[in-house]
Amino acid sequence: MSKKLLQVQDLHVSYGAIDAIKGVDLYVNEGEVVTILGANGAGKTTTLRTISGLLKSKGGSIFFDNQDITSTSAHEIVAMGMSHSPEGRRVFATLSVEENLMMGAYTLKKYDKKTLEWIYEILPRLQERKQQLAGTLSGGEQQMLAIGRAIMSKPKLLILDEPSLGLAPVLIKVIFKAIKQISQAGVTVLLVEQNAKAALKLANRGYVLELGKITHEGSSEDLLNSEVIQEAYLGKKK
């Protein structure tokens, strides 16, 4: 049996009096690509932000690499080997592309040259623009940078929040191809997506989050063939 790299048990998160996450259980095995699907406001981003330590949970536990990280602060979690590329890309606009990548490697004593070369190989646009300020990049390029920046820390688990949001179809293809290459290099991936079809094609397993609760889970194949999922997320009519 493969090792559980990430395990979330009965997670509860609230914003003031409003409960956003109401008991989420999920796990990610080492080497897997797992996707979380769901509509706007289902709690996907909240779940990810809680896992990576930006939000405090109200109840439940989060284990990463056999350690309890439920109340560990965000910067320490990065040093443990989890990297989170946030929703909306959040690149440092007035830093150059190269400086952004260097910040990705902040937890390492010195950045890893091979990792940087590899990022330039799978996302060549970044190398062309390495001297440019990140804020001058197009949306797709900023997304590439956000992903590249996240793997500069050489993570065991890469968390991606809506990497295809607002991108042209041709760029979505580039992004998904890069995610596939990152996964093939041995990085475990937890992917949140609205583009359910593309996400399920890439993932081994998936969860469906609705109003703060997991309503369906299963292998990508099962989810792709499930009528409920097809209707709600893949745009097929019965």
Residue 71 phi, psi dihedral angles, 5° rounding: -120, 25
Nearer to other proteins, 106 or 124 (CB): 106
Nearer to other proteins, 52 or 220 (CB): 52
Q: Distance between CA 10 and CA 150 in Å, rounded? A: 27
CB of 145 vs other proteins, minimal distance in Å? 12
CB of 233 vs other proteins, minimal distance in Å? 27
Contact residues for other proteins (CB under 8 A)?
52-54, 73-76, 78-79, 83-86, 90-95, 99, 102-104, 106-107, 132-136, 149-150, 153
Q: Distance between CA 237 and CA 73 in Å, rounded? A: 45
Q: Distance between CA 30 and CA 190 in Å, rounded? A: 11
CB of 131 vs other proteins, minimal distance in Å? 12
Nearer to other proteins, 75 or 201 (CB): 75
Tokens of 141: 């390029």
Q: Distance between CA 43 and CA 25 in Å, rounded? A: 13
Residues 6 or more apart whose CB falls under 8 angstroms from that of 74 comprise 52, 53, 54
CB of 224 vs other proteins, minimal distance in Å? 31
CB of 23 vs other proteins, minimal distance in Å? 25
As a 3-state breakdown, the chain gives helix, strand, coil percent values, each rounded to 5, of: 40, 30, 35
| Block residue for tokens 């999920």 | 26
Nearer to other proteins, 86 or 206 (CB): 86
Nearer to other proteins, 189 or 196 (CB): 189
Nearer to other proteins, 126 or 224 (CB): 126
Closest by CA to 119, choosing from 35, 32, 185, is 185
CB of 191 vs other proteins, minimal distance in Å? 16
Closest by CA to 34, choosing from 195, 183, 212, 170, is 183
